[in-house]
Amino acid sequence: MTARGPLKAGEPVLLIDRKKRRYLIDLAAGGEFHSHSGVLSHDELIGSDEGTLFRSTRGMTFIALRPTITDFVLKMPRGAQVIYPKDIGPILILADIFPGARVLEAGLGSGALSIAMLRAGAHITGYEIREDFLSRAVSNVTRFLGPEVLDRYDADIRDAYAGIGTSDLDRVVLDLPEPWQVVPHAQTALRPGGIFVAYTPSIMQVAQLHARLENSAFGMAQTTEVLNRGWHVADQAVRPDHRMVAHTGFLTSARLLSESPKI
Ligand code: SAH
């Protein structure tokens, strides 16, 4: 959300209770939020500032805030496995997403990556093979960013392995099982200097992707993974968290060159 000022009807809002449980609701005039801690009327929230504390009918306190991308992605309805914020951030930088960037994204899944790239200003042509995921992605994107964003989100049922029906792209960003199948299409659809980024959970996929990039006009292929370790900070007890997410996926990027020899 990019809105400022008091909370308004129609906006998604994150409620956090005393036990740190989180709920995502869409504010509606006359609406009610029901949980086992009682009822909270939306009308109380509408017109209040972010960070305000509310009390339910059964005395539970809730803080209301506009959700960040991270809050929203972790709470939105998901069909496909989403890319988590720890990888979404680096993907935005690896793919060097900028306002107005012409991006081909496939597959769309639940729309987590779409949300982040759209908010960074990209114009996305999105391919997805499953109707249910396509509509999930579009509804998540619209719920978080508002319907105006659909001017920059051209999402369709389409198989990225079969080809890319657009040209002069700045970026191709992939989260699908066989990204190497898209390399020849990306090579003709990207402009020289364009960037290719693929997210893959398995290192076998990384090896196969590099083999294909090796025999293409792409250069500067590289792969990285992001490890994110939280810290527990409380008085004198300051130490790394006991648990962390050990693995999500690998990020592979490459740039389209117009001349060999490659670098
Ligand atoms: N990045 C997404 C998750 C994508 S999950 C997110 O952050 O929410 C992978 C998606 O790729 C699935 O929805 C799957 O249906 C889609 N997919 C698989 N093969 C595809 C293909 N050949 N073309 C387009 N989409 C494809």
Helix (H, G, I), strand (E, B) or coil at 117: helix
pLDDT in tens, the chain (263 residues): 568 999 999 999 999 999 999 999 999 999 999 998 899 999 999 999 999 999 999 999 999 999 999 999 999 999 888 999 999 999 999 999 999 999 999 999 999 999 999 999 999 999 999 999 999 999 999 999 999 999 999 999 999 999 999 999 999 999 999 999 999 999 999 999 999 999 999 999 999 999 999 999 999 999 999 999 999 999 999 999 999 999 999 999 999 998 665 66
Is the pTM higher than 0.85? The answer reads yes
pLDDT of 3 reads 86
Q: Are strands 102-106 and 169-174 parallel, antiparallel or unpaired?
A: parallel
Question: What pLDDT shows up at residue 261?
Answer: 56
Ligand 1 binding pocket includes 180 (Cβ within 6 Å): no
Using the mean position of ligand 1's atoms as its centre, give its distance from the Cα of residue 8 in Å: 33
Structure confidence at residue 260 (pLDDT):
60
Q: Find the DSSP H helices in 146-180.
A: none
Neighbouring CB atoms inside 10 A of 156's CB total: 11
Beta carbon of 113 within 6 Å of any ligand 1 atom:
yes
Question: What single DSSP character describes residue 147?
Answer: G
* Nearest Cα residue to 217 out of 194, 250, 251: 194
Question: Is the CB of residue 128 below 6 angstroms from any atom belonging to ligand 1?
Answer: yes
* Ligand 1 center to 219 CA (angstroms): 25
CB of 60 shorter than 6 A to ligand 1: no
Residue to mutate, 88, 175, 205, ligand 1, most ligand atoms under 8 Å from C-beta: 175
Q: How many whole angstroms separate alpha carbon 239 and alpha carbon 75?
A: 28
Sign, CA dihedral 201-94-224-261, equals positive
Kind and range of the H or E run holding 238:
strand 237-240
Beta carbon of 159 within 6 Å of any ligand 1 atom = yes
